[in-house]
Amino acid sequence: MSPFAALLAFVAIAFSAVQLCCAAESPFYPLCDDERAALRWLDHVTGTLPADEEKSLWDIGGTQHGILAKRYHIAFCGYAAAALGMRGGKDDTNTVSRILANCINRILRNDAWCYSQSKSYWGLKPWAPDPCYRENVMYTGHLLQLLALYETFSGDAHYWKEGFDFVWRDGRSVHYDVKKLIDVTTEQMRENASGGVTCEPGLLFFPCNNHPHVALRLFSNLGHGDWTADARKWEKWALGHFTSPTFGGGAFNIIYHVKSGLFYPRGNSGLDAWSLLWYEPWAENRDVAVRLWQEAARCLDWGALENPADEKDGSDNCCDPAKVAPTVAATFLAAAARACGDAATATRLESGVDSKYLRRDGGFYFLDLNRDWRIGSTANRIIALAISNGSSFRKMLCNRPLSD
């Protein structure tokens, strides 16, 4: 091969890599009035509240075992703030940093990880009351992503240097720093044949495993390491096993039982949305996420989603998400549709929710829903709004200026 041909080949490979890494161009606008009202709302609900308002907003999730547990609401608030902060000015960035710090403080409280100390989880294990040592990526993944976003926006690395403590009700405590949390997580990725980390004892979910990979990409951008091999191992296995459920219902099988090697071979639209909203940012090839979204979109139940009911239908169990309120599913689906470039589907979903539940009261922007899912659903609606105006977690992970 001539030197000139070699140069052309190199340029082609480099250009292809950029295409694989970065999202398609989207409009880029400064924060609109609704987004600023959304940022104020996030700042308010994650901050210090009077006791009665704290209870009215955050007395949610019951035993914290289900998909409406506090940890998810907390994490989604942080992600929504970050989605807005990508396009905000310095004052907005400062607000986002404060919201993320508030979210980290809240998710470290033992009421957010108390479920992990039950006998059926890890309360009797030798490492108790450590909620992070094994499994539980449904908690550790979100904590990692919040920590990564906080350092990205604030430039403050004190969680690396000074760490943080998990303090249990009886006074026992466990000290961590970010490196220890990463090491505990990646050790499990490397010891498991799939490259994944289980959530509940012995159960592997696709959506939960996206969050540590988003976090690790951000920490890589910050110069803390390179976990590309871990991401590729999991992605290859997951795409080869989790997709195309035998009995349909969505794009991803709901659960993999590690010991038996068996899947629950059915999908769910809400799970698809959670999966693709957070797979799209770190996927090696964005086209794969887009194709999976197209498969997921074909399974949507428009009868429920275009006029979504705000009521509980008997279940918020991670292993049976089908009965979660349609409002919850619609907000997740709209955000995933935006992330995967399907504006038409996103608009249709948003219209159904907004016409009944969207409020712009007291300088705030929020969905007036059942308390059990109000915070998380509002946060996902804010993510969809931010993406529609040019925010992109994929560009953020690619370390590209959002205005490019």
Summarised one tens digit per residue, pLDDT across range 72-115 is 999 999 999 999 999 999 999 999 999 999 999 999 999 999 99
pLDDT at residue 2, as a whole number: 46
Domain around 90: 31-397
pLDDT at residue 320, as a whole number: 61
Q: Is the distance from CB of 347 to CB of 335 less than 8 angstroms?
A: no
Please give the tally of structural domains in the chain. Answer: 1
Summarised one tens digit per residue, pLDDT across range 163-172 is 999 999 999 9
Mean pLDDT over all residues of the chain?
92
Burial profile 222-254: b = 16 or more Cβ within 10 angstroms, e = fewer:
eebeebeebbebbbebbbebbbebeeebbbbbb
**pLDDT at position 21 over 60:** no
pLDDT at residue 324, as a whole number: 84
Summarised one tens digit per residue, pLDDT across range 319-342 is 666 578 999 999 999 999 999 999
d(CA 116, CA 51): 26
| Mean pLDDT along residues 365-379 | 97
Asked, for residue 16, whether it belongs to a domain, the answer is no
Q: How many residues are recorded in the chain? A: 404
- Cβ-based neighbour number of residue 29 at 10 Å: 12
pLDDT at residue 399, as a whole number: 81
Asked, for residue 19, whether it belongs to a domain, the answer is no
The enclosing domain of 321 has a CATH number of: 1.50.10.20
Query: How does residue 8 score in pLDDT terms, banded at 50, 70 and 90?
Result: very low
Q: Is the distance from CB of 386 to CB of 87 less than 8 angstroms?
A: yes
Summarised one tens digit per residue, pLDDT across range 26-52 is 567 899 999 999 999 999 999 999 999
Summarised one tens digit per residue, pLDDT across range 103-132 is 999 999 999 999 999 999 999 999 999 999
Asked, for residue 178, whether it belongs to a domain, the answer is yes
**pLDDT at position 184 over 70:** yes
Asked, for residue 229, whether it belongs to a domain, the answer is yes
Query: What number of CA atoms fall less than 13 Å from residue 97's CA on the CB side?
Result: 13
Asked, for residue 6, whether it belongs to a domain, the answer is no
Asked, for residue 332, whether it belongs to a domain, the answer is yes
What's the farthest any 2 CA atoms get from each other in the chain?
A: 74
Summarised one tens digit per residue, pLDDT across range 294-305 is 999 999 999 999
pLDDT at residue 15, as a whole number: 35
In 3-state terms, the chain is what percent helix, strand and coil (to 5)?
55, 5, 35
Amino acid identity, residue 213? Answer: H
Q: pTM of the full predicted structure?
A: 0.93
